[in-house]
Amino acid sequence: MTSRNEAVMYALIVVVAVCAIMTQGGRNAFDWRERDAFDEIDDRMNSINRLNCHSKPASELHLPKETLAQLPLFNKLLTNIIFPNRTNLLHIHNMALNRAFFYSYIMQKANTSVEFYNQPGLLYYYLSAAADVSANEYGINGSAILYDVNCSYANWYKNLPFNNTLGLFGPRAFRFDDYNEPTNWLREPTNKTINIEDYGAGPESNYTLSSYKWNRWYKIFLPDGWDKSEHDSTRKHTYGVDIKYSDKTGHFVDDEYHSMVFFGPPSPGVKEKEDLPVRFTQPYFDCGRSNKWIVSAVSPVVDRLPRYLDQWFHLRRQKFVAASVMDIDFLQVDLNPCVVGQGNELPNYFAGTAKCKPTTMCEPISGWGFRRGGYQCMCRPGYRYPFYQRGPFQGADIESATGDEYKNGFDCLPVDLRQVIPNIRSNSSGYSINGRKKRAVSESADLQDAGRLVRLARELRDEDEAPLAAVSRGQSHILERRKRFLRIVGLTEEALGDMEKRIVRRDPTPVFAVKRKRIFVPRYKRSTGASRKKRQAFDKDRHARMLDIISLRQSVTKKNCKQFKTDDLVLPGDVSFGAKKQFSPQARTALRLSHFISNFLQNVDIYEEYGNLRGDKLLNTEVLFGEVLANVMGDLRIEGSGVFYDIDKYKGPNGETRQFFGPYAYRFKEDDTGKGLHAKDVKTRFRAEDFAGHKTHYLDKEWFKIVKERWQSNTYGLDRFMEKPMIRSDLDGTSLRKFDLYPLYYRAPREEDGWWSAPYFDCNKYINDWIITYSVPFFGLNSIGTDIEFKGVVRVDVLLRDLDINQCPMDFHMPNAFKNTARCDYKTTYCVPLPGKKFNRGGYKCECKQGYEYPFSDQAWYFDGQTMEEEYRKKINGLQNSFHTLKCRISAGGKASLSWVLLLTAVALRFLQ
């Protein structure tokens, strides 16, 4: 380049810069953004810190409750879809409920004075709260049980008579930011240190007073006064529990179940608005503790009070005695900045803070937390992206744009000449998700389908009436066409002939069910064949296999499962693709129990007494039954849960070792009542039994054996947690002191250390449905106390039908049975999975690719998976269909707009050449 050219270039740059400054009029390039609700909340949060929070009024330490939109409501959980942006709130909701159920259950179960010492002791409360935090690294940062005044019958003080209470008792564990610990020389939080404090001790610790600034969790359910008794029946719900105990291996104490009814948190019907079992607090500043803005889920613990008053029996009633509280960082909670509309109902403090242009519409992005820009702007129906834009405009780009960029960009262009969607209806339409099942139901429609197919085949045959002549005439393509047609519909020549005969006889036996090639191969053959195919957008064989799997899932029921071979009641492992992620909260629930038992077995010694303090007794069978029941009761997606001790590893409080101990709890579904498995109402009856009573033991079961084999001889790779318990110095809680053992350590597994089973049908035992099992080990000290060893597994069962399947294309190595079965037109569209569609096909949408536009004039901008599947079904069955029209078209070129800067640059470039 010559120096003359350089000079021209510089002059050009100066001209452009001067013009740019002049048009800005001296304003800052970011001034176009107005102050909004987000800034206001952000400022309020920034104005509080750990140094000034003590002196601020309560109002400044709380944020408006509208800052938490769309909280999970217990009675809507079965009917509403919980989107990924609310799964972490749902998890603290469920864990708060879990603990509330556990403590309600155990206090009402062990209610006699004899059983007083079987109730949880001091370390039980502490270690359980610590496990809630340590097992939920990305979900829970604090866990507490906060008792009301004179409601906690503590069994760990020698100088407290059994019928007396502590004033207040509130053990709370929270994750401690240990970046500054002397032992932490990386100066990075390890996330593995947990502080546990008694909130009821120390100066100014009376959290029941209104002058206590951080006690919104207290006020929601407590105090539960006598005067409210007329409202009691709805506020406290009764739950039925049947338990079958075993006293020795292979033997149940009783063939009958021991039934018990206990009072727990409310269980409102779908229509009721009040008395939810779990409520959320406003976001508040956790002053002096974790010093962060947090949100708590709160659930009430119920007990019959006063206890142990024989002569005052009539005074006794069910009472909320404590609040079970779980915390999460407010910064972790997604917000929805889009305009109010369907799916984004008020109240929502941040509604309308997104900056989408009128030609676009706004969609929140999940996992963004409390940050600006957690949204994207998609073209409205009838608009398309400019050619340079790949996918929706990202909120983060918009928020960091200058005024000019915003003014001139982020707009969609109108689509001209939109068509009306072809409305082709066949008589047998009436769409149903499970096309095959439907055929079994309405046979005549099936016969019609078959008739069309045969007609089509016949037409193809008529064309090549004289096959040999055709071949000699070089028309072998006609034969090819016929063969291909038969291949697509999965029929052989004989089957076709058979079909023709049936149609003549008008025999209504479903044709496809009988004659379709069976692609669902037995297990031992599965690794060969189809799986070696290279990645492609749509895989016909996989699609057929998917239909087989879905219909097999639907065809096995409680009534007929006995007729199947055990092998047929196991689905291939790749069917449960996505379970690890979608059921992670349920796995974490099992992990919590594993952490708790590990923590307890590694730190509680039967012989220890600490001055005035009684040491905890070893875990008894009742509390472990209570724990597994609470796992099932607290989470609607957990169907069953159990704790299974390895052989000769369970030692009870009496010092006796049992060969086996395996309490397993499950949701009990009464049949015969007509409600059946699909009843929408929440079940409040639960059953549990000790697997030790069965004649065959559980050590050989896959979910036990595989985990045991991995961990039995090698415990390397476990996480090590540190907990720092602070207890009250005396009965009145004058001050806090360190617990005699300080700090405590325990080693426990991670979520990935557990094992997920393939889906299988639990036939005529407990759940009677397709389930997936997750099992995770727990560890205790070995017999000489020098190291830790494998002690058993914790297990949870979830329903296969709650799993969302993903039909979109994936790489060849992804173990997903349903990949590449989405029927998008991959030339012009791409596939996006939709959450919440469960185990049904069609849970995706086909969106237009870059450079293509949606051609129709309905109020959509994508093709729905269910429509695609249905039209495809019609197509392969030879019915009238509009499958071939469901694709995007090349977008017309945008209007050429004249930009003088571009023009100048173009001229300059021309000049420079």
Ligand X SMILES: *[C@@H]1O[C@H](CO)[C@@H](O)[C@H](O)[C@H]1NC(C)=O
Residues that bind ligand X (CB under 6 A): 69-70, 83, 85, 108, 111-112, 138-139, 141, 149-150, 161, 163-164, 167-168, 175, 177, 188-191, 206, 208-209, 260, 309, 328-329, 332, 334-336, 343-344, 364
Nearer to ligand X, 364 or 640 (CB): 364
Q: How far is CA 343 from CA 347, 362, 376, 386, 411, in A?
A: 12, 11, 15, 28, 23
**Distance between CA 247 and CA 331 in Å, rounded?**
50
**Buried b or exposed e, range 567-576, using 16+ CB within 10 angstroms:** eebbbbbbbb
**Distance between CA 105 and CA 303 in Å, rounded?**
8
> What secondary structure, in 3-state letters, does 712-750 show?
CCCCCCCEEEEEEEEEECCCCCCCEEECCCCCEEEEECC
**Distance between CA 807 and CA 869 in Å, rounded?**
11
Nearer to ligand X, 103 or 512 (CB): 103
Nearer to ligand X, 188 or 230 (CB): 188
**Distance between CA 244 and CA 476 in Å, rounded?**
72
Nearer to ligand X, 334 or 769 (CB): 334
In angstroms, give the least distance from the CB of 852 to ligand X. Answer: 23
Q: For tokens 């929601």, name the residue.
A: 220
**Distance between CA 884 and CA 875 in Å, rounded?**
9
Specify the DSSP class assigned to residue 796.
Answer: E
> Alpha helices of 753-811 — where are they, by DSSP H?
none
In angstroms, give the least distance from the CB of 641 to ligand X. Answer: 23
**Distance between CA 25 and CA 443 in Å, rounded?**
75
| Listed residue (749, 805, 750, 748) closest to 772, CA to CA | 805
Nearer to ligand X, 163 or 612 (CB): 163
In angstroms, give the least distance from the CB of 7 to ligand X. Answer: 52
Nearer to ligand X, 340 or 907 (CB): 340
Q: For tokens 């008589």, name the residue.
A: 427
**Distance between CA 59 and CA 44 in Å, rounded?**
11
**Distance between CA 363 and CA 797 in Å, rounded?**
34
Nearer to ligand X, 93 or 708 (CB): 93
In angstroms, give the least distance from the CB of 444 to ligand X. Answer: 40
In angstroms, give the least distance from the CB of 410 to ligand X. Answer: 20
**Distance between CA 689 and CA 243 in Å, rounded?**
5
Run of H or E residues at 644? strand 638-645
792: β partners: 645, 778
In angstroms, give the least distance from the CB of 874 to ligand X. Answer: 30
Q: Give yes or no for a contact between 583 and 774, defined as CB atoms under 8 angstroms apart.
A: yes
3-state secondary structure of 825: coil
Nearer to ligand X, 132 or 825 (CB): 132
**Buried b or exposed e, range 478-511, using 16+ CB within 10 angstroms:** bbeebeebbeebbbeeebbebbbebbeeeeeebb
**Distance between CA 154 and CA 902 in Å, rounded?**
79
Nearer to ligand X, 134 or 344 (CB): 344
In angstroms, give the least distance from the CB of 366 to ligand X. Answer: 6
In angstroms, give the least distance from the CB of 165 to ligand X. Answer: 6
Nearer to ligand X, 42 or 702 (CB): 42
Tell me the helix, strand and coil percentages in the chain, rounded to 5. 35, 20, 45
> Alpha helices of 651-789 — where are they, by DSSP H?
702-711
In angstroms, give the least distance from the CB of 253 to ligand X. Answer: 18
Nearer to ligand X, 335 or 793 (CB): 335
In angstroms, give the least distance from the CB of 263 to ligand X. Answer: 8
In angstroms, give the least distance from the CB of 180 to ligand X. Answer: 12
Nearer to ligand X, 187 or 680 (CB): 187
The vertex-641 CA angle with 638 and 644, nearest 5°, equals 160
In angstroms, give the least distance from the CB of 373 to ligand X. Answer: 13
Nearer to ligand X, 150 or 850 (CB): 150
**Distance between CA 372 and CA 39 in Å, rounded?**
9
Do β-strands 829-833 and 844-848 pair in parallel, antiparallel, or remain unpaired?
antiparallel
394: β partners: 376
In angstroms, give the least distance from the CB of 194 to ligand X. Answer: 11
Q: What tokens does 543 get?
A: 């699609």
Q: Which amino acid is at 718?
A: L
Q: What is the CA radius of gyration of the chain?
A: 33
Q: For tokens 């054996």, name the residue.
A: 705
Nearer to ligand X, 85 or 118 (CB): 85
In angstroms, give the least distance from the CB of 50 to ligand X. Answer: 13
Nearer to ligand X, 320 or 644 (CB): 320
In angstroms, give the least distance from the CB of 521 to ligand X. Answer: 38
Nearer to ligand X, 139 or 640 (CB): 139
In angstroms, give the least distance from the CB of 724 to ligand X. Answer: 15
Q: What tokens does 849 get?
A: 């690719």
Nearer to ligand X, 212 or 872 (CB): 212
In angstroms, give the least distance from the CB of 755 to ligand X. Answer: 23
In angstroms, give the least distance from the CB of 316 to ligand X. Answer: 7
Interacting residues of 501 by C-beta distance below 8 A, sequence separation 6+ = none
Q: For tokens 């997604």, name the residue.
A: 334
Q: For tokens 């109240």, name the residue.
A: 347
Q: How far is CA 902 from CA 436, 905, 909, in A?
A: 59, 5, 10
- Residue 476, φ and ψ in degrees, nearest 5: -65, -15
